[in-house]
Amino acid sequence: MKIGILAVQGGVAEHERTLRQVAEKYRDNSDSSWGNLEIVLVRRAEHLEGINGLILPGGESTTMSRLLTLSGMDTLLKEALDAGLPAYGTCAGMILLASNVLDTRPDAIWLSALDITVRRNAFGRQRDSFEADLTFTGIDEPVHATFIRAPIVEDVSDKVEVLCREPEGRIVGVRQGRVLATSFHPEVSGITDVHEYFLSMCEDANFTYTA
């Protein structure tokens, strides 16, 4: 399996480390292909070729959108998602995948892969960061979630499955078909559960992107 990580800005290394943890965990499991995970840092169009899934990391969503626009990668990513490429966005990645974004810059772009409305920085500033154990549909054990200047999902269409909510009931995890997003950062919590959930999605999709 070949998984890309969008590497224009943000928490790329943390996602790469988590995927390597998964690979190590399944290295000696002959029933799983995850022990041979190939990780690609996606910065240019050619890096998308042959991937089975794409992770959009946390970071600064407006900076990421500006860099994607300048490079033309925004159009390429939309085409890949429209073609059926599985994707997982955390925090800023969720914002990029949304179809409507509140409290953002007027020149910001998003990819409209999830029929959701999100609000940027809904939990406040960096000092308001917090952690919580959440029930996550499709994962047996509670997921330890880290929230850092995180967005919240304010509205979803009937096409979207709500996977988890934070302690006050606000939506922080969603899925629509082959696209997954969380407001929080499992990649900084030392857990692999959510990444394994995404890899299962990629496996089920059996999709390889070709330009």
- Known binding positions for L-glutamine: 59-61, 120, 148-149
**Residue 202 is among the residues annotated as catalytic for this protein:** no
CA separation, residue 77 to residues 42, 43, 70, 190 (Å): 10, 11, 13, 28
Question: Is 153 within 8 Å of 172 (Cβ atoms)?
Answer: yes
Catalytic residue (choose from 15, 16, 91, 164): 91
- Residue that has been written with the tokens 């994707």 in this structure: 87
Catalytic residue (choose from 16, 166, 187, 196): 187
Q: Binding-site residues, please?
A: 59-61, 120, 148-149
CA separation, residue 42 to residues 2, 108, 165, 166 (Å): 12, 20, 30, 31
What one-character-per-residue DSSP string does 31-54 give? T-SGGG-EEEEE-SGGGGTT-SEE
**Residue 91 is among the residues annotated as catalytic for this protein:** yes
CA separation, residue 208 to residues 4, 9, 17, 157, 183 (Å): 11, 24, 23, 28, 27
* Angle in degrees, 0-180, between the axes of helices 61-71 and 73-83, rounded to the nearest 10: 100
Catalytic residue (choose from 47, 185, 196, 202): 185
* Angle in degrees, 0-180, between the axes of helices 193-205 and 12-25, rounded to the nearest 10: 80
Which helix (DSSP H) or strand (DSSP E) does residue 147 occupy?
strand 143-147
**Residue 185 is among the residues annotated as catalytic for this protein:** yes
The residues annotated as belonging to the active site are 91, 185, 187
